[in-house]
Amino acid sequence: MKQITKFSVLGLFLMFFLFPGSSLGGEVGVTDTTVLVGCSNSFSGPLVYPGTQLVNYGLEIYFKHINAQGGVHGRKIVTQYYDDGYKPQNAVANTKRLVEQDKVFAILSPQGTAPVMATVKYLTGNKVPLLFPFQGVPIKGVKTIFTSFAPYPTQSEVVTSWLVEKKGFKRIGILYQDDKYGYTFRDPAKKVLEKYGLELIAAESYKRGTVDMSAQIAKLKKANLDALILVALPKSGASALKEAHKQGLKGTKIISSGPLTDEKFIILSGGVGEGVWGLSLWPDPVNSQRPAMAEYREMMKKYGKDKDNRPNRYSLFGYFYAKLFVEGLKKAGKNLTRDSYLAALEGMKNWENGIVPAVSFSGSAHLAQNAGFMVEVKKDVFKPISGWVRLKDGKLVEEPL
Amino acid sequence: MQGLNKGKVLSWTGVLIIIALLPFILSKYTVFLLSLLAVYALVALGLNLLMGYTGQIAAGHAGFLALGAYFTAIVGTQVEWMPCLVIILMAGIFTGIVGFLLGIPILRLKGFYIAMATLAFGVVVSEIILQWSSLTNGDDGFQVPIARIAGFSFDSDFKLYYLIIFVTIILTLFAKNLANGYIGRAFIALKESETAAQTIGIDLAKYKTIAFAISAFYTGIAGGLFAYLITYLSPDAFTIELSIDFIAMIVIGGMGSILGSIIGAVILTGMQQVLAGLQNLQILIFGFSLIIFTIFMPRGISGMLNTLLERLSLAMRSKNKELAQES
């Protein structure tokens, strides 16, 4: 009798796991009428908002728009997504599922440092293109990987250089999270300051999850800084802003870094964010008057299902990189293979897109966007206070917005 | 009696052959999933030995899994020549020792306080991994070296499957013997009534800490296999939710049942696979199914299956009796 129970286990095995993978002729994920892309992303867990926005209101709305026009070279874009809840092991399982079972042409814009980094070796080994992941750790020198925005160390260098060169600040300090994430900003800032013959006047840290910043802010106040670079996750960052407001850190300009330059963070800080600076990678999703931005908002309204179709940086990310992906498809031509696609991207020069500076790739440069612009919070909106700034051969370059 | 044993041997051989042949029939991805499932089944086994048999609620097994995984990854990187099975065994022993040490202060606690303490343990482990970045690489994550035994590399999911299934089968048999033996009976006695168990000479402190150590040992070994299978570790992998998932596995599968642990791992992993494709409803569906499982199958699926089989055999027996009487 016990054997029956044992065999029922086997039955369950078979029930859940015997889905046969479908095989296609020609390039993986490509037919005459379709091209299949997908990713593992956060539809639950700590990054559920960015994940849902990036996919449902970013990638999806642009693909709907393209498919409504008949697709690219007669191929409609078909998508498949799986939720990893920001767990690396689930991202690995999902990515293997996309590659081996669904047989996608490429992985497009998965999210989160750990989930993305967990899949890099596997994707590289299997020569599956990984395109424009949403994360800030540098990935360089891989033929099949194209990255999206400037990695965090680069962002830190750009901001610090700008503060010194354009604003003439000398007394610069930093408040950072005491882990790798924090060091990713702190160390490049230090390096840049040394280049200018300066040093970090004050460096205070906090443990992840801390909300009481009173001691750190008190010390930073004593240091009498021109500028304070704030490297924090939104909750702690908001506490730091509130504390700085309470203790009256008036002579010091606060610069929020990395993902902190986001509308949600201003709301979290409860009105004390006024005057804070940051590096923005995107034009204001709500207020920018650029035609390409107006088009993004229109499509968001047209294709963005249900209530959450307010413009924001995450859906804009998805929208922009879907557009870039499609541009690559157009360039690769009718005869689409992974190789022809990667070659088409590498051959892309000065692609004007109306959203960020023109995109160029080459055999050795796979980064889509290396520039940002400085913004200041004015009445809960990020107003530009600089042109597009980036580093060219270690030197700060500024171009008009 | 003899015939039954022969049948048993035959059916087990059959099962083993099927398990050995599966990677040739199934898709690459499915083979990977089976390996992941086996890893989770090992954790569920370990957790069941603690929770199901001795009744101590442990909500921090993701912490033990992390210890085993990082131990394997770090030792594997430092001592490249060491066979992976030795490293995994060491990871299990190391985690077991930590479990034993954790078990000592927990002796003073009861019921939900044990749950709180173990929950805190899980959080502390991920925090240590995060902060001790010189050893663990912290947030940046740790690239796990390929599992090797004397020049042979387990460098594909296909090869890893055999390593993982081999370890899982050995440890399942070991758990079965343990559960049916003296220690298992002592565990059950503890669960039923601590006072009664003590009066018949069961050393409460000893067996409670042993239970913790064994449970941690299993989870540590699972952690080692997890590291080799996933190939990349980061503190984000070992969250409270994962610990809760493990509890859900044994609740669904059946507390105090070896088979239940495996069934639970199959159901939960399978469910996560199905739900990963749905975006909005997955947490709702997951929650509802948990409620349904606990209401309609309070002893888990293995409990329900046993009840059904008992009824079936009762019915068969009475029918046989009737037939006998008629003739």
SS (H, E, C) B265-282: HHHHHHHHHHHHCCCCCH
Instruction: Report pLDDT for A118.
Output: 94
Instruction: Report pLDDT for B319.
Output: 83
| Chain B hits for A83, Cβ within 8 Å | 275-279, 282
For residue B268, tell me if it sits in a domain.
Answer: yes
Q: Do B29 and A92 touch (CB under 8 A)?
A: no
Task: Give exposure, A46-73, as e/b (b: 16+ Cβ within 10 Å).
Answer: ebbebbbbbbbbbbbbbbbbbeeeebbe
By CA distance, what is B241's nearest residue in A?
A45
CA–CA gap between residue A67 and residue B243 (Å, rounded): 43
Q: What length does chain A have?
A: 401
CA-based nearest residue to B190, from B165, B169, B208: B208
Q: Would you tell me which CATH number, out of the four given (3.40.50.2300, 3.30.2310.20, 3.40.50.1000, 3.40.1790.10), belongs to the domain A24-149+289-346? A: 3.40.50.2300
For residue B326, tell me if it sits in a domain.
Answer: no
Nearest by CB: A101 against B29, B272, B279? B29
* Equal fold, A24-149+289-346 vs A152-280+372-399: yes
pLDDT digits (tens, 9 = 90+) for A218-267: 999 999 999 999 998 888 888 999 999 999 888 899 999 877 888 777 77
pLDDT at A366 over 60: yes
Q: Do A20 and B277 touch (CB under 8 A)?
A: no
This prediction has a pTM of 0.89
User: Best residue in B229, B234, B268 to probe A by mutation, most A CBs within 10 Å?
Assistant: B234
In this prediction, residues B310-323 reach a mean pLDDT of: 86
Q: Are B248 and B264 in contact (CB under 8 A)?
A: yes
Instruction: Report pLDDT for A25.
Output: 54
Asked if B289 is an interface residue toward chain A (Cβ–Cβ < 8 A), one would say no
Q: Do B26 and A17 touch (CB under 8 A)?
A: yes
For residue B153, tell me if it sits in a domain.
Answer: yes
Asked if B123 is an interface residue toward chain A (Cβ–Cβ < 8 A), one would say no
Give B52→chain A minimum CA distance, Å: 19
Asked if B141 is an interface residue toward chain A (Cβ–Cβ < 8 A), one would say yes
CA–CA gap between residue B34 and residue B20 (Å, rounded): 12
Name the band, by pLDDT with cuts 50, 70 and 90, for residue A4. very low
Instruction: Report pLDDT for A68.
Output: 96
pLDDT at B1 over 60: no
Give A6→chain B minimum CA distance, Å: 8
For residue B9, tell me if it sits in a domain.
Answer: no
Mean pLDDT (chain A) is 90
Instruction: Report pLDDT for B290.
Output: 82
Q: Do B30 and A18 touch (CB under 8 A)?
A: yes
Q: Do A117 and B141 touch (CB under 8 A)?
A: yes
Asked if B160 is an interface residue toward chain A (Cβ–Cβ < 8 A), one would say no
Give B83→chain A minimum CA distance, Å: 23
Name the band, by pLDDT with cuts 50, 70 and 90, for residue A19. very low
For residue B5, tell me if it sits in a domain.
Answer: no
Name the band, by pLDDT with cuts 50, 70 and 90, for residue B4. low
In this prediction, residues A65-85 reach a mean pLDDT of: 96
Per-domain boundaries in chain A: 24-149+289-346, 152-280+372-399
Nearest by CB: A100 against B28, B138, B242? B28
Nearest by CB: B36 against A4, A44, A93? A93
**In this predicted complex, what is the ipTM?**
0.90
Asked if B298 is an interface residue toward chain A (Cβ–Cβ < 8 A), one would say no
**How many structural domains does chain B have?**
1
pLDDT at B303 over 90: no
Name the band, by pLDDT with cuts 50, 70 and 90, for residue A307. low
| Exposed/middle/buried for residue A167 (C-beta within 10 Å: 0-12, 13-18, 19+) | middle
CA–CA gap between residue A276 and residue A244 (Å, rounded): 11
| Chain B hits for A17, Cβ within 8 Å | 26, 30, 33-34, 270
pLDDT digits (tens, 9 = 90+) for A24-44: 458 999 999 999 999 999 998
In this prediction, residues A294-318 reach a mean pLDDT of: 87
pLDDT digits (tens, 9 = 90+) for B138-161: 888 999 999 999 889 999 999 999
| Chain A hits for B11, Cβ within 8 Å | 3, 6
pLDDT digits (tens, 9 = 90+) for B228-259: 999 999 999 999 989 999 999 999 999 889 99
**What is the CATH number assigned to the segment(s) A152-280+372-399?**
3.40.50.2300
CA-based nearest residue to A45, from A96, A114, A117, A93: A114
Q: What length does chain B have?
A: 327
| Domain containing residue B255 | 29-282
**Opening angle at CA A32, ends A29 and A35, nearest 5:** 35
pLDDT digits (tens, 9 = 90+) for A97-135: 999 999 999 999 999 989 999 999 999 999 999 999 999
Residue B220's domain is classified under what CATH number? 1.10.3470
pLDDT at A367 over 90: yes
Mean pLDDT (chain B) is 91
Would you give the DSSP letter of residue A395? E
Instruction: Report pLDDT for A145.
Output: 97
Give B37→chain A minimum CA distance, Å: 10
For residue B305, tell me if it sits in a domain.
Answer: no
Q: Do B279 and A122 touch (CB under 8 A)?
A: no
pLDDT at A342 over 60: yes
Asked if B186 is an interface residue toward chain A (Cβ–Cβ < 8 A), one would say no
CA-based nearest residue to B87, from B165, B138, B163: B163
Q: Do A88 and B141 touch (CB under 8 A)?
A: yes
Q: Are A147 and A77 in contact (CB under 8 A)?
A: no
Region of residue A53 (left: phi > 0; alpha: psi -120 to 50; beta: else): alpha
Instruction: Kindly state the percentage of chain A with pLDDT values over 70.
Output: 93
| Chain A hits for B230, Cβ within 8 Å | 88-89, 92, 118
